[in-house]
Chains A and B, each alone.
Chain A
């Protein structure tokens, strides 16, 4: 037997020698304890096991149900959110559709369909050696070719106009692309118009894009060369050089806007007279420009800047001509030109701003219905218009200088000599109606609408077509802002101030639009019919007729 075995044997003996007999009392106590309490313990243990077994099934099931409910709730929440979003979208879409069906949209028609419906003729344009040339882009905007510039307009796709700039500079004001696109291409660069006013200049293969208002995208070979060029920026694109984005100065911005401001369509006149009027008009333009610069310097408005309007450009400003370039304005222009309204100053305010006051150069027309193409017909015998031609035999134009906007009957803008003398005599004078309108336009665009309204009304207290136009400009502004009652109040102000004003046709058109905005179809119908009866050839009447036809009525 090995050592461990012997140890084990000895230990076993040791264990056996110990008292192992169950003491009777101890045995009895243990047995009695088990007999009395054992069954109860066993039963409780069984119950506990049953509960645990059931819990093993119920608890996971409950957790699963709870989790499923929670997940379902979150899913439903998301679905409801999506449904709400969808409903909002659908509601929005329905609203959009509904709006599309509203008369206003019926007037405007859907952009996509409109761009397809209005075709533009492709052509090649060359800037005049003596000045600019205006290209009419079929109500979508206008492009102004600078001197000696050349561009080709590709309008094979009416919804995708492409202006190929061969040389020189073109300034574009895109008013309403009608859902289409407008591209200006130069030296491989593609300027895609996202709205508004910009200029593209090409010198050899270097292209400069300057944006006064809105944003344009510049691409090369289908790829954007820079982020969107926004208002107040200039992008210089050159071959083998990185594009450079710079800021436009205030002057450059104003010049851009001025380049596409409404240009007066003169009445047909004899060539000699025309040449003479042009010559003198240029002088007038130059003089007024200088006056405008001086007045701008003296302007009290903190927002007005002294802008040096280059005389060379001023001289090159041409009225929109009825030449064969097709640069004539829209039918509205023609209408305004043919109308008896002596001084239809709707566009005249723009003309005035373009020439008279430097600060007003920056006022492209923005109010709906206010056709920026509406131009002032400049006639020698015109009423005190934005610009009274120096060739006019009307001497009273000098005395018609309006030093104060508060004057009940005063000429708005005097001749250059009168202006100069006036300025010399009264360095600090009250603003003219045109100046007030120009400031009001600027304030409105900046968001200071209450101040703008005040200035419009102040301008409306003057006399003359600009004062009348101020009321209508305010009405259009309010209409564009969706404030029908305010627009109506502006119309009432016009009617009260000028009961037999020369702009009754425009006022009627605005009143019709107000009725549409208020969804007063009955009133709109009456106004539309009246408009068609009284001014059948006006653009407003044409729009009203279209609306009546959509409603199954005859104009």
Chain B
């Protein structure tokens, strides 16, 4: 939404918010374009490479549109959307019959300059998600947002609508779980311990 001369950012945000609440198509398109990458990244971080990521993204934006009339603008729109994304991701973390049949991770290693390394990283990522899948969704999401997304604890707490101490304990619990799994998994050991020993 173009800013008008003399308007403060707060006023602009209020106008944008009002437009979103009214369901104006232009405002919603702008929102989708701005938040789509972030939503996809979050979904990727929280769920790993999945074939149903597009469905999940559509679900995120659909629920965002439904929730817009009740959004009071107490937080940033991005935070509002991130929270909805996290809820969708947590629901998706519950394994459904489809994912059980097909396997949770459908991601394909991206070919880069070092395909071998890419494959190895993809495998590591997959094993991280496998290791964290034993945890509750809250612990898993908190740790992934902290580790893969690099978000700080306060932001994680805000997005997850939790307290900071609770968020910290969830992250700590996930770390402990990952370390325990790393004792038996060389891929994870490399991530956790830094890969002191060369693999054969």
- A contact set with B: CB distance below 8 Å: 3-4, 6-8, 10-12, 14-15, 17-22, 26-27, 29-31, 33-35, 37-43, 45-46, 49
Are A31 and B66 CB-contacts (below 8 A) given A6-B194, A18-B110, A42-B21?
Answer: no
Residues of A within 8 A of B155 (CB): none
* Other A-B pairs, 13, CB within 8 Å; known A20-B44, A26-B57, A38-B61: A6-B194, A7-B178, A12-B147, A14-B124, A14-B191, A17-B112, A30-B54, A31-B29, A37-B62, A38-B28, A41-B65, A42-B65, A45-B66
Which residues 132-161 of B sit at the A interface, judged by CB distance below 8 A?
146-150
Instruction: Pick the contact of A11: B21, B112, B191 (CB < 8 A).
Output: B191
For A7, A20, A21, A42, which residue has the most chain B Cβ atoms within 10 angstroms?
A42
Residues of A within 8 A of B73 (CB): none
Instruction: Pick the contact of A35: B29, B128, B175 (CB < 8 A).
Output: B29
Q: B165 in the interface, Cβ–Cβ < 8 Å?
A: no
Task: Flag if B40 contacts A4 (CB, 8 Å).
Answer: no
- B contact set with A: CB distance below 8 Å: 20-25, 28-29, 31-33, 36-37, 40-41, 44-45, 49, 54, 57-58, 61-62, 65-70, 107, 110, 112, 118, 121-122, 124-125, 128, 146-150, 175, 178, 190-194
Q: A15 to B146, alpha carbons, bound, how many Å?
A: 11
Q: How far is the CB of A525 from chain B (nearest CB, A)?
A: 92
Task: Flag if A42 contacts B148 (CB, 8 Å).
Answer: no
Residues of B within 8 A of A10 (CB): 190-191, 194
Task: Flag if A14 contacts B23 (CB, 8 Å).
Answer: no
For the complex of A and B, the 8 pairs showing the least CB-CB separation, nearest first, are A42-B23, A15-B148, A11-B147, A38-B28, A34-B32, A39-B23, A41-B65, A19-B110
Q: How far is the CB of A478 from chain B (nearest CB, A)?
A: 88
Task: Flag if B36 contacts A31 (CB, 8 Å).
Answer: yes
Q: List 20 A-B contacts (CB under 8 A).
A: A6-B194, A8-B150, A11-B128, A14-B148, A14-B191, A15-B148, A18-B110, A18-B122, A18-B125, A20-B37, A30-B57, A30-B58, A33-B32, A38-B25, A38-B65, A39-B24, A42-B28, A45-B65, A45-B68, A46-B21
Task: Flag if A22 contacts B28 (CB, 8 Å).
Answer: no
Q: How far is the CB of B127 from chain A (nearest CB, A)?
A: 11
Q: A221 to B108, alpha carbons, bound, how many Å?
A: 108
Residues of B within 8 A of A11 (CB): 128, 147-148, 191
Q: A18 to B107, alpha carbons, bound, how many Å?
A: 10
For A7, A21, A43, which residue has the most chain B Cβ atoms within 10 angstroms?
A7
Are A42 and B175 CB-contacts (below 8 A) given A11-B128, A26-B54, A30-B61?
Answer: no
Task: Flag if B146 contacts A18 (CB, 8 Å).
Answer: no
Q: How far is the CB of A29 from chain B (nearest CB, A)?
A: 7
Residues of A within 8 A of B20 (CB): 42
Q: A33 to B55, alpha carbons, bound, how many Å?
A: 11
Q: How far is the CB of A18 from chain B (nearest CB, A)?
A: 6
Are A27 and B25 CB-contacts (below 8 A) given A8-B147, A33-B58?
Answer: no
Are A18 and B49 CB-contacts (below 8 A) given A7-B147, A12-B150, A27-B36?
Answer: yes
Residues of A within 8 A of B128 (CB): 11, 14
Q: A42 to B61, alpha carbons, bound, how many Å?
A: 11
Task: Flag if A34 contacts B28 (CB, 8 Å).
Answer: yes
Residues of B within 8 A of A35 (CB): 25, 28-29, 32
Task: Flag if A14 contacts B32 (CB, 8 Å).
Answer: no
Q: A42 to B26, alpha carbons, bound, how many Å?
A: 13
Q: How far is the CB of A387 from chain B (nearest CB, A)?
A: 110
Are A20 and B40 CB-contacts (below 8 A) given A6-B194, A41-B66?
Answer: yes
Residues of A within 8 A of B54 (CB): 26, 29-30
Task: Flag if B149 contacts A42 (CB, 8 Å).
Answer: no
Instruction: Pick the contact of B22: A17, A29, A42 (CB < 8 A).
Output: A42
* Chain A: CB-nearest residue to B179: A7
Task: Flag if B32 contacts A30 (CB, 8 Å).
Answer: yes
For A29, A30, A40, which residue has the most chain B Cβ atoms within 10 angstroms?
A30
